[in-house]
């Protein structure tokens, strides 16, 4: 590691140290009598207002996928990478519809996870377990994507090597993350999100003004990007991409946008951030305010074109055969070392916030819907919290396995792979908030069929650098187009659910007991039934 840029690394370490201090200090921020309760450790006391929730959800939703993976796809294939913009626009109306209802029913019944709601709504422990397992599984590649983001900036700063020396800084970073998440729970990423967003907005505003001026203007950037994308890719013998989606990519573009929109708010980490808010109106306001982040997403995607327009940057990234390095390499070549360090810190902190929330969400699913449901029904709130704290550490180890085992040249596949699985919970969760017509066994069967189809189809997709799980796009059965596997699996899921529900109801197969009531979905803070959540007593 003789070629390490000391200034960049020093600035990066400074901000990393700052957020670590903030993370540990968060344990005392607006805390109740004890943190040994999932309402406190896992949901931050369920009392965040609009301002805090906006930063928390923004830090939760806009991850290293935003800063590293999306520009990498734009760098590698052009306009296809911009599917992330319409998906955000489609997702927020869905959040506005289902978010407040989920908040209300969860606060009335003390639900901490999506699986808690599904079990209570459909009276099925098995269906609740399926939702929990899917959520945990989907979190693994998503957390891994955050690791890839940190790894990319470390690589560009010159922190390289082989074996343990190569990965040791990454392990140290996530050891610190694990430590303050264990100590402070959801309060840690909530506070760190303020630092993260300040850094990100600073960097992107400077980037869209400073970099085009250095590269000769936007016209030159787009012309250079088009010329580069039009060159034949040796692996596919076709052009790498273009500035406009072609006829062959329209279905892929549309299904990626729609499938990802369905997934956005049913991811466990997103629900965790929403349930931490103090009133149902907070979620409505954030559904209206959070699209402001989509502007930032579009500007970040343009960094992929900027990297193509900088000859030295494009050559270095292509030589490394790793598009994830496009944005870090661009910053390293264009910015002064001190500001490149700030930009790298923004990416690193931007990975820490969602990784913390994801690990908390996954551990809560295990504790509430596996450990307590099937092994320790009488577990106290303190015991639940201790189990969640421990499992949050194991979840991060699982994410490291994904990082070490999967090809990282197009890390966005890690996020899309999680999406294939989590979308299959939408019939139970998304539709379940509005209707209980679907039969519990039909939902379970549809989930199982779709999970098998989606996983096997994704497994059989190769890429130039990987034999399996190489991409999340595949041929759509009976349609002569390719599309996002998650949406195809979702259609199969719904066909099974609708058909079996009709059969089960016609044959009189008994359904589960719904423990929720109609008015539960409209309750708000201040009502007696909402205030009847378990008392927090120091133990």
| pLDDT tens figures, 11-32 | 998 998 888 898 888 877 777 6
The rounded percent of the chain whose pLDDT value lies above 70 is 91
| pLDDT tens figures, 386-402 | 999 889 888 877 777 76
Whole-angstrom Cα distance, residue 340 to residue 156?
Answer: 10
Whole-angstrom Cα distance, residue 117 to residue 380?
Answer: 20
pLDDT of residue 538: 39
pLDDT of residue 444: 97
Whole-angstrom Cα distance, residue 268 to residue 399?
Answer: 16
Answer yes or no: is 258 within a domain: yes
Query: How many domains does the chain contain in total?
Result: 1
How wide is the angle at C-alpha 132 spanned by C-alphas 126 and 135, nearest 5°?
145
Beta bridge partners of 402: none
pLDDT of residue 480: 79
Answer yes or no: is 221 within a domain: yes
Q: What mean pLDDT comes out for the span 230-242?
A: 76
Answer yes or no: is 521 within a domain: no
Answer yes or no: is 217 within a domain: yes
Question: How many CB atoms are located within 10 Å of the residue 232 CB?
Answer: 10
CATH number of the domain where residue 186 is located: 1.20.1730.10
Question: Mean pLDDT across the chain, nearest whole number?
Answer: 85
Among 76-80, 406-410, 504-508, 518-522, name the one with the lowest average pLDDT.
Answer: 406-410
Please, which pLDDT band fits residue 208 given cuts at 50, 70 and 90?
very high
Answer yes or no: is 70 within a domain: yes
pLDDT of residue 353: 84
pLDDT higher than threshold 80 for residue 235: no
As a three-state string, the secondary structure of 435-498 is CCCCCHHHHHHHHHHHHHHHHHHHHCCCECCECCCCCCEEECCCCCCEEEHHHHHHHHHHHHHH
Phi/psi zone of residue 113: left (φ > 0), alpha (ψ -120 to 50 degrees), beta? beta
| pLDDT tens figures, 50-65 | 888 888 888 777 776 6
pLDDT higher than threshold 50 for residue 539: no
Name the most confidently modeled range: 171-180, 234-243, 438-447. Answer: 438-447
| Radius of gyration, alpha carbons of the chain | 23
| pLDDT tens figures, 241-264 | 888 877 667 888 889 899 989 998
Own/partner pairs, 96-99, CB within 8 angstroms, 24+ separation = 96/283, 96/284, 96/287, 96/288, 98/265, 98/429, 98/430, 98/433, 99/265, 99/274, 99/283, 99/284, 99/287
| pLDDT tens figures, 113-167 | 999 999 999 999 999 999 999 999 888 888 877 877 888 888 888 877 665 556 6
pLDDT of residue 223: 93
Task: For residue 138, give Cα distances in angstroms to 13, 236, 258, 359, 425.
Answer: 30, 30, 18, 11, 11
pLDDT higher than threshold 90 for residue 411: no
257: its two tokens: 């946008």
Answer yes or no: is 186 within a domain: yes
Secondary-structure percent of the chain, ordered helix, strand, coil, rounded to 5: 75, 5, 25
Answer yes or no: is 342 within a domain: yes
Answer yes or no: is 229 within a domain: yes
Among 118-132, 256-270, 328-342, 412-426, name the one with the lowest average pLDDT.
Answer: 412-426
pLDDT higher than threshold 80 for residue 294: no
pLDDT higher than threshold 60 for residue 536: no
| Domain range for 68 | 6-412
pLDDT of residue 422: 94
Q: What mean pLDDT comes out for the span 311-321?
A: 89
Please, which pLDDT band fits residue 342 given cuts at 50, 70 and 90?
very high
pTM for the predicted model, two decimal places: 0.90
Please, which pLDDT band fits residue 409 given cuts at 50, 70 and 90?
low
pLDDT higher than threshold 60 for residue 531: no
């Amino acid at each position: 590691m003789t070629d390490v840029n000391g200034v960049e690394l020093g600035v990066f370490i400074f901000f990393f140290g700052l957020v670590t201090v903030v993370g540990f200090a968060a344990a005392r921020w607006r805390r109740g009598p004890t943190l040994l309760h999932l309402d406190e450790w896992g949901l931050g006391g369920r009392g965040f207002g609009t301002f805090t929730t906006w930063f928390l959800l923004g830090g939760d939703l806009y991850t290293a996928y935003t800063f590293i993976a999306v520009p990498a796809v734009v760098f590698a294939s052009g306009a296809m990478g911009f599917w992330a913009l319409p998906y955000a626009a489609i997702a927020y109306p869905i959040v506005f519809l289902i978010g407040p209802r989920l908040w209300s029913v969860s606060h009335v019944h003390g639900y901490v996870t999506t699986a808690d709601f599904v079990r209570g709504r459909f009276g099925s422990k098995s269906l609740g377990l399926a939702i929990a397992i899917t959520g945990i599984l989907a979190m693994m590649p998503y957390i891994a994507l955050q690791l890839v983001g940190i790894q990319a900036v470390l690589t560009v700063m010159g922190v390289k090597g082989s074996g343990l020396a190569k990965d040791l800084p990454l392990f140290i970073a996530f050891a610190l993350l694990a430590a303050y998440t264990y100590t402070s729970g959801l309060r840690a990423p909530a506070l760190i999100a303020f630092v993260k967003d300040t850094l990100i907005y600073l960097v992107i505003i400077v980037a869209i003004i400073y970099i085009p001026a250095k590269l000769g203007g936007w016209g030159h950037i787009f012309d250079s990007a088009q010329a580069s994308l039009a060159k034949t890719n040796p692996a596919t013998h076709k052009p790498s991409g273009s500035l406009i989606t072609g006829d062959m990519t329209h279905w892929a573009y549309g299904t990626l946008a729609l499938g990802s929109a369905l997934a956005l708010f049913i991811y466990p980490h997103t629900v965790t951030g929403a349930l931490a808010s103090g009133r149902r109106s907070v979620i409505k306001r954030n559904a209206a305010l959070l699209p402001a982040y989509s502007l930032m997403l579009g500007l970040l995607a343009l960094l992929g074109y900027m990297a193509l327009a900088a000859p030295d940057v494009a050559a270095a990234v292509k030589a490394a055969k790793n598009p994830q390095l496009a944005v870090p390499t661009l910053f390293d070549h264009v910015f002064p070392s001190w500001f490149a360090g700030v930009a790298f810190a923004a990416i690193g902190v931007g990975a820490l916030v969602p990784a913390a929330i994801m690990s908390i969400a996954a551990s809560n699913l295990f504790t509430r819907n596996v450990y307590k449901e099937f092994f320790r029904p009488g577990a106290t709130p303190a015991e639940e919290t201790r189990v969640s704290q421990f499992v949050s550490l194991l979840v991060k180890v699982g994410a490291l396995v994904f990082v070490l085992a999967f090809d990282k040249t197009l890390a966005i596949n890690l996020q899309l792979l999680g999406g294939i699985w989590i979308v299959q919970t939408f019939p139970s969760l998304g539709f379940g908030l509005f209707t209980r017509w679907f039969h519990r066994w039909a939902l379970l069967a549809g989930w199982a069929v779709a999970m098998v189809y989606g996983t096997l189809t994704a497994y059989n997709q190769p890429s130039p650098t990987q034999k399996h799980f190489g991409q999340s796009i595949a041929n759509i059965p009976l349609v002569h187009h390719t599309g996002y596997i998650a949406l195809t699996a979702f259609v199969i899921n719904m066909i099974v659910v609708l058909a079996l529900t009709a059969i089960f109801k016609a044959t009189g197969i008994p359904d589960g007991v719904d423990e929720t009531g109609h008015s539960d979905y409209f309750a708000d803070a201040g009502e007696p039934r909402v205030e009847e959540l378990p008392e927090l007593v120091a133990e």
